[in-house]
Amino acid sequence: MMLHQDSNCIFCKIVSGQIPARVVKQNDRAMAFLDAFPLAAGHVLVVPKAHFQKIQDMGAPDARAVFDLVHKITGRIESAAGTSASTIAVHNGKEAGQEVPHVHVHIIPRKPGDGAGP
Ligand code: 5GP
Ligand code: ZN
């Protein structure tokens, strides 16, 4: 599948293997990898393999693939972190705190008093 990518985007470079990341799981349109600066142990990012800045910029197949991966891995991420709760969040646009302009869903395992929430 020919991917729409942005050669200056750090997450596109992770998807294409140009920069390394600890990949957790992937499907044909989405990839999950560990956050390099985790807010809590086991913090994972799920991205579409194609470059889109915001949720509404993706087509339905990419949106489904991203959330299918979130749905599949969240339980395992929580148990690996020794908890049964997580914050699942998207910063959708710069004014909302989005620093990397490539859609990404944060999955952050949570424990009481960890201060890792939005
Ligand atoms: P945002 O603030 O845009 O929602 O989140 C961007 C996330 O990307 C941050 O949690 C940050 O730690 C993570 N991040 C930034 N650069 C890299 C990188 O090069 N590799 C990985 N794995 N994560 C990154
Ligand atoms: Zn990108």
Q: Is position 104 annotated as part of the catalytic site? A: yes
Question: Ligand 1, residues 9, 92, 100, 105: which to mutate, most atoms within 8 A of Cβ?
Answer: 100
- Domain segments of the chain: what residues? 10-109
Q: Of the listed 51, 102, 104, 106, which one is catalytic?
A: 104
In the predicted model, is pLDDT for residue 38 greater than 90? yes
Q: Among 4-8, 25-29, 60-64, 72-76, which is the least confidently predicted range?
A: 4-8
Q: What is this structure's pTM? A: 0.97
**Averaged pLDDT for residues 64-80:** 98
Q: Note the ipTM here.
A: 0.99
Q: Which amino acid is at 115?
A: G
Look at the block and give the residue holding tokens 């799920």: 46
Identify the CATH assignment for 10-109 out of 3.30.428.10, 3.30.1020.10, 2.40.50.60, 3.30.930.10: 3.30.428.10
Q: Which residue, judged by its Cα, is nearest atom 20 of ligand 1?
A: 36
Atom 15, ligand 1: which residue's CA is nearest? Answer: 36
Which tokens go with 19?
């920069």
- CB count within 10 Å of CB 72 equals 13
Q: Which amino acid is at 22?
A: R
